[in-house]
Copies of this chain bind each other. A is one copy, B any other.
């Protein structure tokens, strides 16, 4: 692969949270430097980055200087303003590419894309006002969830409708933003596949993990999941179909509902994913290095699993448990260095090695 980035090259990362932090660490293992672009002060990724630009995404001069200082651009979150991407795109390769961002930034576009590939999603309909919400309820049924089409994460920008009479309140919760009504899926459990694709089109997927959420935030991922061998194969193949359709370069998280009728795609995230953190202690090459390898034009690494792992997020006051967790055998701590503990804030995670895989 003659286009492999060389030792000493710099990878630009849009966003300086914990994902950017762990991407920086992975980049350092391959001899790369990172340059973080982040509007907020004291981003967690800055502690392990070669350089940091603190500027808003509207600062064209800062974006231009950032692009000039890096060899390739990637990102740790999908909600990057389009104007910033328009400015960066002619200057340096953005990986994963614009098409993946365009699709994942809008829940309607994403579901249209997925169903267009022949994949199943929850029933859905676009909602802009009271009239379209009424029509959506008629089409999708209740219970259902009304979500903003854009900029939602960790359960934010969502409102449940248990009955049609909840419509006015739910619509008010959207505060005028374009929305999507999604029907409830009666699922047994949720899994996610962390897939990767490189510039040559090679695809590799990690063993699917089983996810449990609390208050709309991922609480725990367990590998192996309860998936049958047949469903595991389905999950990997549909992930590959998504990656190939987007000519994708990088790591993607694909959340799936497991139902008696098969797998239903919940959502896709064009980046490393919280439910893939277990790979740090379950695989030789984790999702962060896999992403860096892909965006750097490298061969993908060996993502086979060598251990059973339970990943648990440390949210807010869970940080009080750190002294005890540090004493646990076969438990790896991963803390993000965030100074201020806030309720609902992701402060770190642990990977418990449940049993060595024989």
Residues of A in contact with B (beta carbons under 8 Å apart): 1, 4, 7-8, 21, 24-25, 28-34, 46-50, 281, 284-285, 293, 298-299, 301-302, 304, 306-307, 319, 322-323, 326-339, 347-348, 351, 353, 356-358
Taking the closest CB of chain B, its distance from the CB of A292, in whole angstroms, is: 11
**Nearest chain B residue, comparing its CB with the CB of A7:** B335
* Closest beta carbon of chain B to A41's beta carbon, Å: 14
Please state if A31 and B336 are interface contacts (CB–CB under 8 Å). Answer: yes
CB-contact partner of A30 in B4, B328, B333, under 8 A: B333
Q: Which residues of B contact A319 (CB under 8 A)?
A: 7
CB of A66 to closest CB in B, whole Å: 17
> What chain B residues lie within 8 Å of A1 (beta carbons)?
323
The answer to whether A284 and B281 touch (CB under 8 A), given A28-B47, A50-B46, A335-B31, is: yes
Q: What B residues does A323 contact at CB under 8 A?
A: 1, 4
Please, how many angstroms separate the alpha-carbon atoms of A12 and B245 in the complex? 48
Contacts of A356 in B (CB 8 A): 306, 356-358
The residue in A301, A307, A328, A336 that gathers the most chain B C-beta atoms within 10 A of its C-beta is A301
For A338, the chain B residues whose CB sits under 8 A away are 7-8, 31
Q: Are B306 and A30 in contact (CB under 8 A)?
A: no
In the complex, the answer to whether B299 meets A327 with C-beta atoms within 8 Å is yes
Judge whether B330 and A284 touch: CB under 8 Å.
Answer: yes
Count this chain's copies in the assembly.
2
Residues of B within 8 A of A299 (CB): 326-327
A28, B48: Cβ atoms closer than 8 Å: yes
Residues from chain B with a CB closer than 8 A to the CB of A306 are 306-307, 353, 356
In the complex the two chains form, what is the Cα distance from A356 to B282 in whole Å?
Answer: 12
Measured CB to CB, the closest approach of chain B to A319, in angstroms, equals 7
Q: Given contacts A31-B337, A284-B351, could you give 20 more A-B pairs where the C-beta distance is less than 8 Å?
A: A25-B28, A28-B48, A29-B332, A29-B334, A29-B335, A30-B333, A31-B335, A34-B47, A47-B50, A48-B50, A284-B330, A293-B326, A299-B326, A299-B327, A301-B326, A304-B329, A306-B306, A306-B353, A356-B356, A356-B357
**Complex Cα distance A299/B333, Å?**
12
Residues A285 and B7 in contact, CB atoms below 8 Å apart: no
Q: B337 touching A33 by the CB < 8 A rule?
A: yes
Most buried by B among A4, A29, A32, A330: A29
Q: Which of A28, A302, A323 has the most CB of B within 10 A?
A: A28
Contacts of A24 in B (CB 8 A): 48
Known: A24-B48, A46-B50. A32 touches B337 (CB 8 A): yes
B21 touching A285 by the CB < 8 A rule?
no
CB distance from A58 to the nearest CB of B (A): 27
Residue of B with least CB distance to A305: B356
11 CB-based A-B contacts, threshold 8 Å? A7-B338, A8-B337, A28-B47, A31-B335, A31-B337, A31-B338, A284-B351, A298-B326, A302-B331, A304-B329, A356-B358
**Shortest CB–CB separation between residue A224 and chain B, in angstroms?**
15
In angstroms, Cα B83 to Cα A194, docked, is: 52
The 8 Å CB contact of A332, one of B4, B285, B334, B339, is B285
Contact B329 A302 (CB under 8 A): yes
Residue of B nearest to A329 (CB): B302
Of B48, B304, B329, B333, which one neighbours A25 at CB under 8 angstroms? B48
**Contact check: which of B8, B50, B337, B358 meets A28 at CB < 8 Å?**
B337
